[in-house]
A and B are shown apart, each in its own frame.
Chain A
Amino acid sequence: MVSAIGNDRNTFWESLTRGCHGFREITLADTSDLQYRMGAEVQGLSFEDSFDPGSRELLDRFAMLFLLAAREAIADSGLEAAELREAAIVTGSSLGGQSTEDELFRALYQEGRRRITPFAVPRTMANAGASHLSIAIGCEGPGLTLSTACASSTHAIGLAFWLVSQGVVERAIAGGSEAPFSRGHLKAWDSLRAIAPDLPRPFSLGRKGMVLGEGGGALVLESLESARRRGAHLRSLLVGFGMSSDAGHITKPSARGAARALRAALEDGAVDRERVDYINAHGTGTPLNDVAECQAIQEVFGDRASRLFVSSTKSMHGHALGASGALEAAATVLAIENRVVPPTANFLEPDPECPLDCVPNEAREAETRVALSSSFAFGGLNAVLAFAAPPP
């Protein structure tokens, strides 16, 4: 786990449970003419110490963020590289190595450079994280990268889950990463006017939008049989994956599309909705998303909706676009394991249009039997994961 609120699982979880956010003024790009200055940048990480100079030359920031997260996840799994030789690697990223493109294209167009480094293409490709991981650990199984905007790594984890549950592979490393802080990309978001000038306040009155974040997250998935055979510590069970497309507007969220994905995840996992206790929401903090998402939850859960905990951890780690799903899946797993529901931070007061228990500002101690992690992307592509507490 690498994020603005922690560069390892424990620090990430401690920040989430304390309601600490990672927003500061953006330092990685010039924001002087933007309508926002805040972002959730990864702090206190030395890429120089983590990667040798030869590797760094080939790695965009987004790929390094994924590789660091994957190293931690693999170490935590207790699996040796040889045991992952046949595993799948599935990653998600919305932007790939756009920081590299931004930097090199500026040199080409603005500074008059005539040549671009041959490292540009391998640094920029969206599958760089997956490819470098397979090389690093000698993993020869299926490898692929999905790009579905803000749902990228949720789709990646879901597809990896299906590869394992269908018996295509016994193990998979799945997640994603994003490094969105380049001047060109920040200017593009400025024009969309979806970014809050201060803090994201999901589901709260007074919310003005999302705030961008960066990071990387990875999970090691393993068939239950294999995990039990080797006596692995089970943090949670991934039991269902649902997808849908809004078939509506390219940026406007749809309650109907979100509801369809929520239902699909429950059906895939044969989960009774009465057993769902927590939803780690998409919860961007834009006025439209949060209302549509609450409507979708109410439509799917009926009376149960008012008894669910629904929190947005984007209020702390920021909207890390294609990496969000991986960070939030991890938060969901940790919520089940630690019997604590992370809060929605920066919450001011309830919005009558978001009439759910959004766990404002303070974590709650609560046992979670089943939890969902939702991602509803621009473009109307939706993905939901269902996690359950492992059997005692």
Chain B
Amino acid sequence: MSDALASKVIAAIAAVSKRPIEDVKLESTFGELGIDSLNGFHLLCELEEDLGIVIPDDDARDLRSVGDVVEKIRPLVEARSS
């Protein structure tokens, strides 16, 4: 799933977790990347601002990995573009 959205999410997560971009994989969990709930919400805030979307609270609480984030926000980004 190497697409533009995934790349954007990976870059955002690398910035939030203060890690090199190569360390962030789609299968990486927030726990592995040292991202706690507060940093996780900060990440979502940055993505919402950047992509012009709103991620519902209920969805936000279920996110555990980089891939989860990409999957959850893809329909929101597509809906905004259509």
Residues in B whose Cβ lies below 8 Å from that of A33: 54
A39 to chain B, nearest CB (A): 16
Partner of B41 from A192, A197, A249 at Cβ < 8 Å: A192
Q: B57 touching A249 by the CB < 8 A rule?
A: no
Does B36 have its Cβ within 8 Å of any Cβ on chain A? Answer: yes
B38, B42, B44, most chain A CB atoms within 10 A: B38
Q: Is the CB of A191 within 8 A of B45?
A: yes
A251 and B54 contacting across the interface, CB-CB below 8 Å: no
Residues of chain B lying within 8 A (CB to CB) of residue A250? 38
Contact string against B for A residues 186-209, beta-carbon threshold 8 Å, 1 for contact and 0 otherwise: 000001110101000000000011
Q: Which residue of B lies closest to A191 (CB)?
A: B45
Closest CB of chain B to A378's CB: distance in Å?
A: 10
A35 within 8 A of B: yes
**Is the CB–CB distance between A193 and B54 below 8 Å?**
no
Known: A249-B36, A252-B36. Contact between A191 and B41, CB under 8 A?
Answer: yes
Interface residues on A, range: 10 to 19
- Report the Cα distance A257→B53, complex, angstroms: 38
Tell me which residues from 31 to 57 in chain B have a Cβ below 8 Å from any Cβ of chain A.
Answer: 36-38, 41-42, 44-45, 54, 56-57
Q: Are B41 and A252 in contact (CB under 8 A)?
A: no
Tell me, rounded to whole Å, the shortest Cβ–Cβ distance linking B46 to chain A: 10
Contact pick for B61, options A191, A193, A195, A252, CB 8 Å: A193
Q: How far, in angstroms, from A197 to B54 measured CA to CA in the complex?
A: 15
B37, B41, B44, B57, most chain A CB atoms within 10 A: B57
> Which residues of B sit under 8 angstroms from A252, Cβ to Cβ?
36-38
- Whether the Cβ atoms of B37 and A208 lie closer than 8 Å is no
**Chain B residue contacts of A193, Cβ below 8 A:** 41, 44, 57, 60-61
Are B56 and A251 in contact (CB-based, < 8 A)? no
Given contacts A193-B44, A250-B38, A251-B38, 17 further A-B contacts (CB under 8 A): A35-B54, A35-B56, A35-B57, A191-B41, A191-B42, A191-B45, A192-B38, A193-B57, A193-B60, A193-B61, A195-B57, A208-B57, A249-B36, A249-B38, A251-B37, A252-B36, A252-B37
Those 5 A-B pairs whose CB atoms lie nearest each other, nearest first: A193-B57, A191-B45, A35-B57, A251-B38, A193-B41
What residues make up the interface of A, taking CB atoms closer than 8 Å to B?
33, 35, 191-193, 195, 197, 208-209, 249-252
- Of the A-B pairs whose beta carbons lie under 8 Å apart in the complex, a sample of 22, sorted by A's number, is A33-B54, A35-B54, A35-B56, A35-B57, A191-B41, A191-B42, A192-B38, A192-B41, A193-B41, A193-B44, A193-B60, A193-B61, A195-B57, A197-B57, A208-B57, A208-B58, A209-B57, A249-B36, A249-B38, A250-B38, A251-B37, A252-B37
